[in-house]
Amino acid sequence: MDTEVHLPERDRADAAERRDERSRFGVRTQRYALLVVAAAAVVALVNVFVAQPFEIPSGSMENTLRAGDRVLVNKLAYRFGGMPARGEVVVFDGGGSFVQGSGGTDFVKRVVGVGGDRVTCCDSRGRITVNGRPLDETYLYPGDTPSRVAFDIEVPKGRLWVMGDHRADSRDSRDHLGDPGGGTVPVDKVIGRAEATIWPLGRRRSLDGAHG
């Protein structure tokens, strides 16, 4: 014969309270999990479409950027009709220009010439000229010359001539003069504009370097 157990009133209340607490805990856990998933989705969308941190792999942009620096790249800078400007630091996919074959590699360089520009090295004072005007390249690595490689190129429409700030330690447009595109990079391969150094904390600063 079954024996029915009767709990005291207080015990029944405590058991009900424990069940309610477990239920509330379960609801809080579900809400927390949903918030984590939503936050991760927002971060992923921002990285894909808006802004993304990139780590600098080499010293080719010293002293502006050093190996290990992290820069915030604005991926919307050129999405709505904007075009890279001379002097801006950009991140681009080098597939088909700096890297031949399938599968590109991301590079960070400074825009020296845009479509239609004639970029020449060098004038009588050793300066790079764009459309006959010498550049005042204050961002160059201390002790570097603007270029030890002579060149004279007219940048095709829709393409960019790019160089590293540490000219003696940068493989850039000069190294690909004989490749398809003559060393220039298609604008549509630009991932975005580097806006600021965000890490290490002691090197945080904006990267406004346009020179007209």
Task: Reply yes or no on whether 109 is catalytic.
Answer: yes
Instruction: State the DSSP H helix or E strand holding residue 130, giving kind and residue range, or none if neither.
Output: strand 129-130
Which of 97, 109, 170, 173 is labelled catalytic? 109
Q: Count CA within 13 A, CB hemisphere, residue 8.
A: 3
Q: Strands, E, within the chain: which ranges?
A: 51-55, 70-74, 89-93, 106-114, 118-121, 129-130, 133-134, 151-154, 159-163, 185-186, 190-199, 205-206
Both tokens of 80, joined, read 């709505």
Contact criterion met (CB below 8 Å) for 178 and 60: no
Residues linked to residue 151 through DSSP beta bridges, in sequence order? 121
Q: Which amino acids are annotated catalytic?
A: 60, 109
